[in-house]
Amino acid sequence: MISPCKSAERPAGRHDLVFVNPQGWRAMLDPHGDLACDPLVLYWAELGWPTIRRRALPSETDGLALGLPLPPSAGKKRLSFLAGLDDIVAVARPPSLRETHASAPPCWRPTLDRLEELALRHSAPARVFGSLAWESMTGLDYVTASSDLDLLFETRPETDLDRLVADLAAIETEAPMRLDGELMRADGAAVNWREFSAGASELLVKCIDGATLLDRDRFISGAPRS
């Protein structure tokens, strides 16, 4: 189960789950009249399901920018909303590997077990976003035969990132699905694990407020973006 915290306890960052109260949800739908006719979207908040924090557009200066990917059965649409800050009731990190295990296709589960062992060995907790996360949180059919497993490794200054991505690549060679995802520092700065694994001297570093190139060694050392 996801363990949300009250929104006042921490700001919402990239990949964070954001829970909106039903009244605020209906207000969010007002600018999207057609969505009010979609039962799945209309009752989303009442079912206790989250949205995801997204990067705000330059024109979105008020409220919190949220996204909602619908399942393939609903056209796989990606919806965008602005929520009033007073309507945010909780924020949570994405689900852990263990929390998504039961919702994964049976052929994925041995890989999830290996990834959980990897995360423990490297002291880099692994979380899941993307299709498997949404299926585990809602019970709706998000995962398809072509789905990737999207991983978020929460790294620490002492994490050996080169060893971590090498071990991750080794697991992928025997996995039934593609492993995608990011390495995220405690400050929220994140890089794609494949790009890091490729050994580029500069990395595209993503944060909730944008993306920039940063020297590889500076990312590893925890240097701020500048």
Active site residue ranges: 148, 150
CA geometry: angle 150, 152, 156, nearest 5 deg: 160
| Alpha helices for 46-139 (secondary structure H) | 97-100, 109-121, 131-138
Residue 165 corresponds to which tokens in the numbers above?
């991505």
Nearest-Å Rg of the Cα atoms of the chain is: 18
| Alpha helices for the chain (secondary structure H) | 22-29, 39-42, 97-100, 109-121, 131-138, 161-172, 193-197, 216-221
Indicate if the alpha-carbon torsion angle 196, 130, 153, 115 is positive or negative. negative
Q: Which one-letter DSSP state was computed for residue 96?
A: B
Other CB atoms within 10 Å distance of the CB of residue 199 = 9
